[in-house]
Amino acid sequence: MKLLGIETSCDETAAAVVQDGREILSNIISSQVDIHARYGGIVPEVASRQHLVTTIPIIEEAMAQTCWSDLDGIAVTIGPGLAGSLLVGVNIAKAIALAHGLPLLGINHLEGHIYANWLEGRTPDFPCICLIVSGGHTDLLVMRGHGDYLALGRTRDDAAGEAFDKVARILGLGYPGGPAIEQAALSGDSTLHRLPRAWLRGSDAFSFSGLKTAVLRLVEGKGGLGAADIAASFQEAVVDVLVTKTVEAAKRLGAKQILLGGGVVANRLLRQSMAQRSPLPVLCPSPTLCTDNAAMIACCGYFHLKAGKISGWDLDIAPNLRLP
Ligand code: KG4
Ligand code: ZN
């Protein structure tokens, strides 16, 4: 089965064709980063108008080697995300599905991030612990089977990616913050200053706003530290909390594997630390499949289609959608 995936939840316009939920036939992404970088963050109206311009050409590119008659479904992100951006993708997906008589599959973006682990030929083992860390989310879940989730904890304030973006701005490292902090940290010394960690013991929830404030205080007081040293200490603090709490939950609940997903999983220190400190196998998508893409949406759509979870023509967007 071949599915076309469409993703327009935030500032990437993406389309992909995936076969049987695992083989990527095409995966096209058009980033708006340069447009939003001028403003230091995403401007929602600019994002939706850019999707309006870019989505059809990106779909045409993704479909260059595939006949429309060979498709078995259209999967599209319905949320969480920016309302105006989601509307563009969902509307286009409906029009294509209607024109070609194909099933329409509305997909939760967060579930898509988890399903990126099925791409590249792997088959994760249930039950597993999933950590989704992106610009808007830090969610820890148990996945007991396809589409069967139990929420353990989420962030009480900033998402991990949001903290990376805000701290990068404080340090004058630019936008998007995650890759900028990772790059700066390479030449920094994380041992010069130990930043606080919010453990929230006895719960699987997270908190990163105190860490962000601690960075702000440190920058104001300077303390002889450069941006690279602070970036290194900050990155280490975020990774320490994410890894410790995920591994602890996985052991406590007898999980078979740990699955990672979301843009922050592109971070090398997070990938390495999780693999080193977990007694269980750790699966993470390759870095380009961690950040927003449509292959993960098409992959997730395949499992929805197999389970008969087909959306109606009244499919709506859900900007505040959660998982489960
Ligand atoms: O999943 P994603 O592409 O979009 C959302 O669904 O939000 O995640 C974007 C987030 C941003 O906050 C970005 O700064 C962060 O992922 N990110 C990283 C890295 N690459 C992207 N954070 C840390 N290290 C990275 N290498
Ligand atoms: Zn995302």
Residue range(s) defining the domain that contains residue 242: 124-284
- 96 and 166 share one domain: no
- 98 and 199 share one domain: no
Region of 36 (left: φ > 0; alpha: ψ -120 to 50; beta: rest) is alpha
Task: Check if 176 has its Cβ closer than 6 Å to any atom of ligand 1.
Answer: yes
Q: Give distance in angstroms: CA of 263 to centre of ligand 2.
A: 6
- 198 and 69 share one domain: no
Q: Give distance in angstroms: CA of 50 to centre of ligand 2.
A: 18
Give the per-residue pLDDT at 39: 87
Give a yes or no: residue 162 inside a domain.
Answer: yes
Q: Which atom of ligand 1 is nearest to the CA of 113?
A: 1
- 79 and 191 share one domain: no
- 236 and 296 share one domain: no
Give the per-residue pLDDT at 223: 64
Phi, psi of 65 (to 5 degrees): -105, 10
Q: How far apart are CA 246 and CA 126, in angstroms?
A: 16
Give the per-residue pLDDT at 201: 96
Task: Check if 161 has its Cβ closer than 6 Å to any atom of ligand 1.
Answer: yes
Give a yes or no: residue 213 inside a domain.
Answer: yes
CATH number at residue 185: 3.30.420.40
**Number of domains composing the chain:** 2
Give a yes or no: residue 110 inside a domain.
Answer: yes
Q: How far apart are CA 172 and CA 30, in angstroms?
A: 26
Q: Give distance in angstroms: CA of 101 to centre of ligand 1.
A: 36
- 140 and 279 share one domain: yes
Q: Give distance in angstroms: CA of 67 to centre of ligand 1.
A: 33
At 43, list the tokens: 């401007």
Task: Check if 79 has its Cβ closer than 6 Å to any atom of ligand 1.
Answer: no
pTM greater than 0.85 (yes/no)? yes
Give a yes or no: residue 311 inside a domain.
Answer: no
Q: Give distance in angstroms: CA of 267 to centre of ligand 1.
A: 8
Contact (Cβ atoms closer than 8 angstroms) between residue 51 and residue 294: no
The three state secondary structure string of 257-283 is: EEEEECHHHHCHHHHHHHHHHCCCCEE
Residue having the nearest C-alpha atom to atom 6 of ligand 1: 134
Give a yes or no: residue 150 inside a domain.
Answer: yes
Phi, psi of 54 (to 5 degrees): -95, -25
pLDDT along the chain (324 residues), means of 10: 98 97 98 89 94 98 98 98 98 98 98 96 94 97 98 98 96 93 97 95 97 94 84 98 98 98 98 98 97 98 98 98 97
- In the structure, ligand 2 is a single-atom ion and the residues with CB under 5 Å from it are 134, 292
Q: Report CA torsion sign: 305, 311, 316, 322.
A: negative
At 33, list the tokens: 């980063």
Give the per-residue pLDDT at 222: 67
Q: Give distance in angstroms: CA of 70 to centre of ligand 2.
A: 28
Give a yes or no: residue 320 inside a domain.
Answer: no
- 264 and 192 share one domain: yes
- 184 and 275 share one domain: yes
Q: Which atom of ligand 1 is nearest to the CA of 176?
A: 14
Task: Check if 234 has its Cβ closer than 6 Å to any atom of ligand 1.
Answer: no
- 137 and 154 share one domain: yes
- 73 and 145 share one domain: no
Task: Check if 293 has its Cβ closer than 6 Å to any atom of ligand 1.
Answer: no
Task: Check if 134 has its Cβ closer than 6 Å to any atom of ligand 1.
Answer: yes
Task: Check if 264 has its Cβ closer than 6 Å to any atom of ligand 1.
Answer: yes
Closest by CA to 299, choosing from 25, 11, 9, is 25
Task: Check if 106 has its Cβ closer than 6 Å to any atom of ligand 1.
Answer: no
Ligand nearest to the CA of 29: 1
- 200 and 250 share one domain: yes
Give a yes or no: residue 322 inside a domain.
Answer: no
- 148 and 251 share one domain: yes
